[in-house]
């Protein structure tokens, strides 16, 4: 090798090393750190299960709230007709007036409050609504009280706004119903809001009116915002749902989240909304200008059809989940080593697996590897749920029965 070629080679190597050093020195916003954590990494088993299913393996995926049945035909047909008619252009940032008015009318019917389209903004699912509300209400130094267990993304949304989430455990011995005394004790001068879901994911608990009235008094006394996540409100079984926005003094300080994902089997359509004071809705619409730039028109037309056919569609879907809940409970509550909680709403069953002698992480992964059934480690929703797994009622009854049989065989092998 000539001296020139050696010099050229060394120069290229130095240049490459310099470039790699510059790349490694690139820095990111501390937002990316605030978005990370155990709650957002809990989906790993679901990802692995989906990959196995894509390879054609015999797996039963019960780790996410997305049912196997399709969106009802009238909704799909409305979207197709709208697409063919050319409804593919930009839309209003807050959403189209007819759909927002329909959402407001339904909210007014259930709460007795006088609301209009001015109180409604459309979001890309309730998840986008949760994130947007957090950015519009919270800032660095604020604290947000959330009963635990909670939905996995609450913490990331609160932290994205620079605020701190204060988890308040509930007692599994009380079937995961909220502890209002503990909520009251958690309030500090920094408390800005109380966030909760009713019905709750993962527990299926529907908040009792007395508990909501206590929370309302706390919010009024301490001048707090309340975010009420009511995505599962129409999928209640034995206990009626009550919206905290219906209580005295709460309309002006409550943000209600809703969506069509669960009640209408429209998870992939990403249609959600936030209902609140008109000024907040204006702020959220400006945020939508920067973040979302409006939902597609053909999807909004489909959503309007979903609301127009609400009673029939929701009743059918609710009955599906009620039957599936009963099927799972009947089979699993008799398995030695397991203890099932009967959910009051929604599409999940919480199962206490501590009697198997395995921790929840070990249980979920060993179950998947041995029997091909994917369930979620519920401790990711909060330490209060440690010892529980969350099972989704998201496959047909025959497949659910097969999943229960596999779980029973696995538990027998572990405990027997």
* Residue 299 burial (CB count, 10 A): 24
Q: How confident is the model at residue 24 (pLDDT cuts 50, 70, 90)?
A: low
Mean pLDDT within 215-230: 98
Strands 143-148 and 164-169: parallel
How far apart are alpha carbons 233 and 229 in whole angstroms?
Answer: 9
Class of domain 88-308: alpha beta
Confidence of residue 313 (pLDDT cuts 50, 70, 90): very high
CATH number of 33-70+312-415: 3.90.1150.10
Residues 135 and 402: their CA atoms lie apart, in Å, by: 44
Render the burial of 133-151: b for 16+ CB within 10 Å, e for the rest.
Answer: bbbbbbeeebbbbbbbbbb
User: What is the average pLDDT across 252-258?
Assistant: 97
Mean pLDDT of the chain: 91
- Contacts for 195 with CB less than 8 Å, ≥ 6 apart: 144, 145, 146, 150, 154, 158, 226, 227, 229
Residues pairing with 165 in the sheet = 144
Cα 165 vs. chain centroid, distance in angstroms? Answer: 16
**pLDDT confidence of 43, banded at 50, 70, 90?**
confident
Residue 185 structure tokens: 């004790």
Q: What is the pLDDT of residues 336-381, one digit of tens each?
A: 999 999 999 999 999 999 999 999 999 999 999 999 999 999 998 9
What pLDDT, in 10s, does the model give residues 87-137?
999 999 999 999 999 999 999 999 999 999 999 999 999 999 999 999 999
| Separation between Cα atoms, residue 296 and residue 91, nearest integer Å | 7
Ordered by start, the domain boundaries in the chain are 33-70+312-415, 88-308
State how beta strands 339-340 and 348-352 pair: antiparallel
Contact 154, 195 (CB under 8 A): yes
pLDDT-derived band at 44 (thresholds 50, 70, 90) equals confident
Average pLDDT on 324-346 reads 95
User: pLDDT tens-digit profile of 265-285?
Assistant: 999 999 999 999 999 999 999
pLDDT confidence of residue 416? 72
The pLDDT value recorded for residue 238 is 87
Instruction: Kindly give the residue spans of alpha helices, DSSP state H, lying in 292-396.
Output: 297-308, 310-332, 360-371
Looking up tokens 């209060």, which residue turns up? 384
Question: Would you put residue 387 in left (φ > 0), alpha (ψ -120 to 50) or beta?
Answer: left
Backbone phi, then psi, for 251, in 5-degree steps?
A: -60, -40
Q: What percent of the chain has pLDDT over 90?
A: 82
State the pLDDT at residue 4. 46
Predicted confidence band at 33 (pLDDT cuts at 50, 70, 90)? confident
Q: Which helix (H) or strand (E) holds 165?
A: strand 164-169
- The DSSP line for 264-303 is TT-GGG--EEEE--HHHHHHHHHHHHHHT----HHHHHHH
Question: pTM value?
Answer: 0.89
Confidence of residue 241 (pLDDT cuts 50, 70, 90): very high
Burial 241-259 (b: 16+ CB within 10 A, else e): bbbbbbbeebbebbbbbbb
State the Cα–Cα distance between residues 35 and 160, nearest whole angstrom. Answer: 6
Percent of the chain past pLDDT 70, that is, above it, reads 92
């Amino acid at each position: 090798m000539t001296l020139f070629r050696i010099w050229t080679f060394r120069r290229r190597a130095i240049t490459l090393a310099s470039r790699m050093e510059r790349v490694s020195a690139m820095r990111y916003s501390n937002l990316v750190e605030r978005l990370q954590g155990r709650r957002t990494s809990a989906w790993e088993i679901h990802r692995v299960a989906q990959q196995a299913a894509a390879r054609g393996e015999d797996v039963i995926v019960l780790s996410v709230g997305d049912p196997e049945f399709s969106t009802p035909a009238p909704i799909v047909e409305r979207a197709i007709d709208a697409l063919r008619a050319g409804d593919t252009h930009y839309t209003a940032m807050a959403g189209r007036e007819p759909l927002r008015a329909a959402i407001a009318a339904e909210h007014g019917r259930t709460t007795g409050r006088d609301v209009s389209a001015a109180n409604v903004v459309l979001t890309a699912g309730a998840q986008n609504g949760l994130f947007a509300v957090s950015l519009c209400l919270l800032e660095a130094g604020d604290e947000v009280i959330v009963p635990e267990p909670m939905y996995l993304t609450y913490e990331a949304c609160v932290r994205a706004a620079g605020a701190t989430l204060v988890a308040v455990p509930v007692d599994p011995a009380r079937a995961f119903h909220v502890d209002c005394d503990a909520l009251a004790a958690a309030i500090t001068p920094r408390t800005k809001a109380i966030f909760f879901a009713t019905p709750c994911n993962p527990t299926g608990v529907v908040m009792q009116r007395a508990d909501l009235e206590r929370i309302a008094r706390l919010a009024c006394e301490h001048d707090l915002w309340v975010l009420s996540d009511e995505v599962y409100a129409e999928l209640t079984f034995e206990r009626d749902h009550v919206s905290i926005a219906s209580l005295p003094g709460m309309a002006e300080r409550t943000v209600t989240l809703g969506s069509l994902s669960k009640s209408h089997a429209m998870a992939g359509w990403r249609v959600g909304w936030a209902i609140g004071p008109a000024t907040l809705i204006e702020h959220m619409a400006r945020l939508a200008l920067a973040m979302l730039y409006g939902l597609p028109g053909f999807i909004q037309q489909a959503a309007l059809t979903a609301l127009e056919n609400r009673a029939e569609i929701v009743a059918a879907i609710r009955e599906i989940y009620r039957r599936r809940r009963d099927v799972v409970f009947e089979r699993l509550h008799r398995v030695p080593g397991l203890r099932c909680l009967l959910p009051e709403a929604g599409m999940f069953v919480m199962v206490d697996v501590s009697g198997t002698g395995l921790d929840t992480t070990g249980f979920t992964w060993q179950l998947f590897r041995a029997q091909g059934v994917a369930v979620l480690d519920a401790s990711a929703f909060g330490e209060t749920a440690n010892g529980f797994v969350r099972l989704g009622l998201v496959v047909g009854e025959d497949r659910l029965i097969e999943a229960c049989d596999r779980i029973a065989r696995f538990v027998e092998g572990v405990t027997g």
